[in-house]
Structure 1
Amino acid sequence: MEIISTIVGQVSIMYVLMAIGFIVYRKNLINEEGAKQISNLLVWVINPLIMLTRYQMNFSMEKLEELGISFLVSLCAMLIGFLIGKIIFKKNQRIDKFAIGFANAGFIGIPLVTNLMGIDKVFFLSAYLVCFNILSYTYGIYMVSNNKNLITVKSVLLNPGIIAVAFGLLIFVSPVKLPSLFYDAFNLVGQTNTPIAMILLGTYIAKAELITLFNDRHAYFVAAIKLVVIPIIITVLFKFLPPYLVEIKKVVLIAMSTPVGLTVPMFSQMYGGDYEYGAKLVGLSTLLSLATIPVILFFANIIW
């Protein structure tokens, strides 16, 4: 019962933060341009710094092995999601396949992992985010555009998440660490992730026309695959992994249980997909995930 109480308590705090974001947007205290700037702050500063500071530790082969295992488990989980999408959706339903394959593991996954498991577990989540960034800027672009020529090495390597992990690995393997002045400052910035990300998420929900958000049956179907079917399959398959990997399993499951990622409408707009439909999937799945994530984590706690 303690795990249920923890999940409900932490998720409830996030609901309140999202409600604040919803209200301030509807009251025009934050407009669309302001929300975009906050999003840029999260993507380019706060999230990279929270990942970077998680690598401020003494090097050990055990931690390096755990990071490698996290990467492999994350990659397998994402490939399972892609496979399910390929089985369920038709070839021309590119946005649907993209939506269930790429979760909002940065904005929502980092706060959830931080609040439910501790900020040090973002170390494991960083491996998932590396997989996410590499796949989204390669296979993801191809899924949306159906054009391999749009994939560039530059778009992958200059991603802020990849850059943060690259510098983090250098700090991890090097005997020279961040000076305490910089570490404390970066860590303080990273701690703002949860409130800022959740308030921003509330503004995204506030942008949506709630009537149109709830009247698309196919969007419900896509959200159900993303939020229920895939996480349940992942949970069952993870049962067969060794018990000592339980923390890695939880981190990856949390990441896979988060709603449709913001990359869906963003890439749809950039590469000729249906941007409005992608935004609808983000809004609907975000609202529904408030109920599904606690249930999925409770289910995992029972069978693991």
Structure 2
Amino acid sequence: MDLALIIFKQLIILISIAVIGFSLVKKDLLSQTTISQLNTVIVKYLTPLIIVEAFFKPIHQELIIQFFLAMIIYACFVLLRIYVGHWYFGKDEDGVSKFATVFGNVGFIGIPLTLAVFDPSFVMITTGLFLVTNFFSWTLGLRMIRVKDKEPKVKFSPRPILLAFLIGAIIQVLNLPIPPILSQGIHQLNQVYSPLAMIILGAYFVDIAKVSDYLDWKLWQTAVIKLIIWPLINLFMLLLIPGLSFETFFILTMILAGPSAMMAALLSQLVGGDYLKGAKIVLLTTVGSLITIPLILNFATWLYENYYVLGGFMNG
């Protein structure tokens, strides 16, 4: 089956689950406090478990090379987007929009989509991009949306993710056997990740569901930049970079074309910024990505198969 079609079907499923989360909070069956606690469970426990599980199977050296290559490329693209965003939006203006055009929803959207189309071992690449996203979000990204020199109430800690990578690396290097009952238990627990993440995402949209909230053309401008303009620019740039396997090329394109990160709302709330504007952009790009991601990925696949001649070991 065409990978873009798989992505489209998976997005339909994920957004449908998000609607359930929206409905549960709207009907007071879930509180925002509970949603916040579930978010902590995902970030601190389920995401690290997914990373560890990616190391259960033997990992070819080429995948490790692709992992570091993807992180370097992604970091460069993030820095490029930040630089252009400062020029386009103005250095000290509209920080929320700038942030939203730079950072994608790697955790809640990227990881489930990767699991939908590739072997779980390739989640290692996506989680590497997830780590880069979080690092830049809480450093340069925070400076974009900071208001009146307020300090954020919480700080980013990469320790759970880094610890998961360390544990996974030890398993690989020492070739440690994983008891079937443990691997099966972790695998079943990780099946909760995608639906739980989307329930949380849907819950965040309860306060911004009115159609009248989206009459501001600047919201649509930001969405077009995030979902169409930057993904196409980055896609053609990827064609010029040698050594990318199809999986790495596809995952990078998918993440770069993804909807704006929920951090656009969460960080702006922490520093006294326009939290609702950030949430509106996230919702608009999440729904819009249902159309744009499959189209861009289908185009990217065609370009890779016909014009990318510098692929790596796993091509074909």
Do they superpose with TM above 0.5?
yes
Rounded Cα–Cα distance in structure 1 between residues aligned with 2:99 and 2:253: 18
Rounded Cα–Cα distance in structure 2 between residues aligned with 1:197 and 1:136: 19
Q: 1:267 to 1:116 in 2, by over 3 A?
A: same
Rounded Cα–Cα distance in structure 1 between residues aligned with 2:71 and 2:284: 29
User: Greater share of helix residues, 1 or 2?
Assistant: 1
Q: Is the 8 A contact 2:7 2:113 kept in 1?
A: no
Q: 1:136 to 1:177 in 2, by over 3 A?
A: farther
**Alignment partner, residue 275 of structure 1:** 275
Rounded Cα–Cα distance in structure 1 between residues aligned with 2:179 and 2:131: 25
**Alignment partner, residue 237 of structure 1:** 237
- Comparing 95-104 and 170-179, the one that deviates more: 170-179
- Comparing 141-150 and 228-237, the one that deviates more: 141-150
Rounded Cα–Cα distance in structure 2 between residues aligned with 1:54 and 1:178: 12
Rounded Cα–Cα distance in structure 2 between residues aligned with 1:142 and 1:300: 33
1:299 CA drift (Å): 1.9
Q: Is the 8 A contact 1:95 1:268 kept in 2?
A: yes
For residue 266 of structure 2, what is the amino acid of its counterpart? M
RMSD: 2.7
Unaligned runs of 5+ in 1: none
Rounded Cα–Cα distance in structure 2 between residues aligned with 1:226 and 1:255: 11
Within 5 Å, give how 1:1-304 maps onto structure 2.
2-58=2-58, 60-92=60-92, 93-145=94-146, 155=155, 157-176=157-176, 178-242=178-242, 244-304=244-304
Aligned to 1:253, what secondary structure does the other structure show? helix
Rounded Cα–Cα distance in structure 2 between residues aligned with 1:59 and 1:211: 48
Rounded Cα–Cα distance in structure 1 between residues aligned with 2:148 and 2:137: 14
Q: TM-score, normalised by structure 1?
A: 0.88
1:128 CA drift (Å): 0.7
Q: 1:23 to 1:146 in 2, by over 3 A?
A: closer
Q: Is the 8 A contact 2:57 2:121 kept in 1?
A: no
Rounded Cα–Cα distance in structure 1 between residues aligned with 2:16 and 2:279: 22
Q: 1:177 to 1:147 in 2, by over 3 A?
A: farther
Rounded Cα–Cα distance in structure 2 between residues aligned with 1:268 and 1:146: 8
Q: TM-score, normalised by structure 2?
A: 0.85
Q: Is the 8 A contact 1:129 1:161 kept in 2?
A: no
Deviations 1:47-91 (A, max 9, x none): 221112112233653332222112212212322322331232111
For residue 108 of structure 2, what is the amino acid of its counterpart? F
For residue 174 of structure 2, what is the amino acid of its counterpart? S
Rounded Cα–Cα distance in structure 1 between residues aligned with 2:278 and 2:150: 23
Rounded Cα–Cα distance in structure 2 between residues aligned with 1:98 and 1:68: 24
Rounded Cα–Cα distance in structure 2 between residues aligned with 1:53 and 1:134: 23
